[in-house]
Amino acid sequence: MFNLILFGPPGAGKGTQSEKLLAKYSLVHISTGDLLRAERNAGTELGNKANEFISRGELVPDEVVIGMVRNFMKERSDKAGFIFDGFPRTIPQAQALDQLLTEFNAQINCVLGLEVDEDELVKRLLLRGETSGRVDDQNEDTIRNRFQEYQNKTLPIQEHYSSQNKYHGVEGVGEIDDIFASLCSHIDKLI
């Protein structure tokens, strides 16, 4: 198995780059944001609970997200590997993922972080909010709250994987195809 984490703050381009990576490598995409929104749209209990946190720009509790990821992966245990997008977002999530992958005799092979400064991110998210219909992209306070959550809870994950020599930062501003090429150059060294 080859397992990649696409890392970076809200609006860094993880979704866009995931789509391009999926077209090139035979990996399965797992976006916890997409899974949570699908639960909400289906009106499930999990989706309704998650939506309270999402609309405030807060992280959804670890146990909810971890359980959802575990189910998703177990249904796809025969696959060549995963691209994790928006997960893990906390140290307990990273530890749970490491543990879960050992059950597949696998590990995280590579973590690629898209680096974009905050002013550019706010611009991108507000623009996305005009067309995506995502309420969490339409309000600057909610967006700033998501960055706060990212700083406090998600950024420590970078160190978690740096200490295992798995983390590589990639410039996330520029042409989409150039950013994609940088990501591929890291992956191709490992795959």
Distance, in Å, from the CA atom of 175 to the CA atom of 178, rounded to the nearest integer, reads: 5
Phi and psi at 27, nearest 5°, equal -120, 160
* Closer Cβ to ligand ADP, 44 or 185, answer by number: 44
Q: Is 113 in the site for ligand ADP (CB under 6 A)?
A: no
11 vs 113 by CB, closer to ligand ADP: 11
83 interacts with ligand ADP by CB under 6 A: no
| CA distance linking residue 31 with residue 134, whole number of Å | 15
Bridge partners (DSSP) of residue 170 are 114
Q: Which residues make beta-bridge pairs with 110?
A: 4
Site for ligand ADP in 130-159 (CB under 6 A): 136, 146
User: Which CB, 59 or 170, lies closer to ligand ADP?
Assistant: 59
Decide: is 10 part of the binding site for ligand ADP (CB under 6 A): yes
Q: In whole angstroms, what is the distance from residue 102 CA to residue 88 CA?
A: 16
Q: Is 112 in the site for ligand ADP (CB under 6 A)?
A: no
Q: How far apart are the first and last CA of the chain?
A: 9
Q: Which two tokens stand for residue 145?
A: 């709250």
Piece of the chain touching ligand ADP by CB under 6 A; list 28-36, 70-78, 97-105, 161-169: 28-36
Catalytic residue (choose from 20, 37, 56, 128): 128
CB of 122 to ligand ADP, least distance (A): 12
Rounded to an integer, what distance in angstroms lies between the CA atom of residue 11 and that of residue 143? 10
Question: Contact residues for ligand ADP (CB under 6 A)?
Answer: 10-11, 32-33, 36, 53-54, 57-60, 65, 86-87, 89, 93, 136, 146
